[in-house]
Amino acid sequence: MTLASHWRRVVALAEKRLPSLTRMRQREPLPILLNRRRIYIVPTGFGLGFAVLLCVMLVGALNYANNAALILTCLLGAASAGSMLVAFRVLNGLTIGTLRADSAVAGSSIRVSLDISTNDEARTGVHLDVHEQQLALQVPAHGAATAEFELLTEMRGWLPLPRMRIYTTWPLGMFRAWSWLNPDRQVLVYPRPEAFGPPPFEPQGDADRGRPRVGDELASLRDYRPGDPRRQIAWKLSARHHDLLVKDMEQPAPKEDWRLDWDNIHGLDAESRISRLARWIDEGHQGGRRWSLQLPDRYFDIAQGDEHYHRCMTALALQP
């Protein structure tokens, strides 16, 4: 029992002093400022190989009492050691700021962009590992660079950002300075619409359904009939004909407003209802319809457009 409590204290201490190593369990708010507490440096494979070579050169120079070779070895060694500090300086003081995400439905990938900025000198060779994608970017001095990557989504709802690693091997590729990023941000994934299914229930009853209405869109040209309004005459086209032609303006039949209701879908579990509703909303949005959505806990009044669409989809995505 005491052992366990000791262990907890050790972990707590590590969490406090070495946040970068233990960052996997604790999320933190954006913006993240990289500092010396959380930047770690390890030699790369190439760096280890080069170190072995330096040792060989050192022993050779010492053995043959060749001081010129020793100076050269020391110079190379010092330059390599200096490259470690340069690598550290690439990351030190970087700010991982704004996060932006597109919308995506579950099962497809979602584009996320992350701003990495500095308020002093430019940074070179900054890499970001996300979900086995590697991004390399340069951060301009007093500016920001945007890292864009895609996340695979599996289900609707909030998708937490995965743990990312920011690292650099600049300038010589011998050392990798790295830090874990585990921001507490989430991106929203919309529910996946079902592949096919019935259309929503449409109340029948409007008598003049199907009758064309005068609208803005040009349906066809026809001969002039007395009584047609003058502004509908297609003057230019008529000049090539014997008779006057008239633009027949027409609007397709107005689509019925959909009243989508969670409770009107019978015999399905919640997930299937959500994906059916998602499909209807998707179709309605693409078909230019107006719809309202009744969910168990809230109601969206009849409307149309992008904003309405996103509001409804968000509500669906966050359905328990």
Q: What is the chain's length?
A: 320
Q: Which is nearer to another protein, 142 or 213 (CB)?
A: 142
- Verify binding: residue 171, another protein, rule CB under 8 A: yes
How far apart, in Å, do the first and last CA atoms of the chain sit? 38
Identify which of 261, 183, 205, 209 has the alpha carbon closest to the alpha carbon of residue 27: 183
- Verify binding: residue 72, another protein, rule CB under 8 A: yes
- Verify binding: residue 107, another protein, rule CB under 8 A: no
Backbone dihedral region for residue 288 (phi beyond 0: left; psi -120 to 50: alpha; all else: beta): left
The residue within the footprint of another protein, chosen from 18, 81, 253, 318 (CB under 8 A), is 81
Using DSSP bridges, classify how beta strands 123-130 and 109-117 pair: parallel, antiparallel or unpaired: unpaired
Interactions with another protein, residue window 11-30 (CB under 8 A) = 24
- Verify binding: residue 7, another protein, rule CB under 8 A: no
The residue within the footprint of another protein, chosen from 1, 2, 5, 132 (CB under 8 A), is 132
CA distances to 49, 217, 288, 298, 309 from 257, rounded to whole Å, are 70, 21, 10, 19, 14
- Verify binding: residue 220, another protein, rule CB under 8 A: no
> What 3-state class would DSSP assign to 57?
helix
CA distances to 100, 103, 309 from 300, rounded to whole Å, are 26, 20, 10
Stretch that binds another protein, among 65-73, 103-111, 231-239, 309-317 (CB under 8 A): 65-73
Give every CB contact of residue 316 below 8 A, 6+ residues apart in sequence.
156, 190, 191, 274, 277, 278, 281, 295
- Verify binding: residue 160, another protein, rule CB under 8 A: yes
Interactions with another protein, residue window 234-293 (CB under 8 A) = none
Closest approach of Cβ 40 to another protein, in Å?
9
Closest approach of Cβ 13 to another protein, in Å?
18
The residue within the footprint of another protein, chosen from 126, 187, 295, 316 (CB under 8 A), is 126
Give the binding site for another protein (CB under 8 A).
24, 36, 42, 46, 49-50, 53, 56-79, 81-83, 85-86, 88-89, 92-93, 119-120, 122, 124-127, 129, 132, 134, 136-138, 160, 162-163, 165, 167, 169-174, 176
